[in-house]
Amino acid sequence: MHPCSFEVPRAIIERLKEEKQGQSRDLPLFLIMNALRPRKDISRMITPTRRPALFLDRDGVINKEVHYLHRIKDFVFIPGVFDTCRMFQNAGFALIVVTNQSGIARGYYSEEEYHILTRWMIERFDEQGITLTDVMYCPHHPKGAVPQYRVQCSCRKPKPGMIVGACARHGIDPAASIMVGDKFSDIQAGRSAGIGRLVLVHSDYEINLEEAQQAHHVAESIGHSSFQRWVFQDDIAVAR
């Protein structure tokens, strides 16, 4: 079994602090032991120990699409993303990023470079009063150039491993949750994990009619007013 990567924001922050002090150590990688099959009878009841989540792909959803993004200078937030995330946070949702990072397996950048960029992104959310519950990434690709990452894993979307793992780890109710992505693989992963609402947003990737029909909603972006209206005026995002 190969590790699927869970990244805890506070752990990254502590790691970077240690680096500044010359006491660097490896970040833990948590294992998803099994990618559970989607459950057909998941209750939509939200309890104090089982809350909804807004699952977000990163590139094309949180930031503008840049192929194999790994440098801070190339990271541009989608307009309105902070406002939308704040609305969900205030409504009681966990905010969880689930991102394929095959650039690591392809040798385009290292996990360390990925961690540095992610730390910077988390800090920008913190400055806006927004806490990311988790940032999860898959560094694998079956045809990767780096041997240790050249694997068939259960976490790379469209497989649901990252989402299933997050639900188990954070007490998430998948049927009451929302998945937002800019590619059909995001929708497939969300559906396989039993996520209740699936949203496609426009980016550099073309969305065809067949793919759009698999989503519950198609929006210009997560920060667009049409997405916010769809979620909150229709009482979709109401955590109890």
C-alpha dihedral (60, 63, 68, 71), degrees to nearest 10: 170
Tell me how far apart the alpha carbons of residues 183 and 198 are, in angstroms, rounded to a whole number. Answer: 11
DSSP label at residue 47:
B
Active site residue 57: yes
Q: What is the pLDDT of residue 231?
A: 82
pLDDT in tens, 171-192: 999 999 999 999 999 999 999 9
Give, in words, the CATH class of 5-14+51-233. alpha beta
The one catalytic residue in 41, 57, 204, 235 is 57
pLDDT in tens, 125-171: 999 999 999 999 999 999 999 999 999 999 999 999 999 999 999 99
The one catalytic residue in 26, 41, 59, 234 is 59
Active site residue 83: no
In the chain, where are the structural domains located? 5-14+51-233
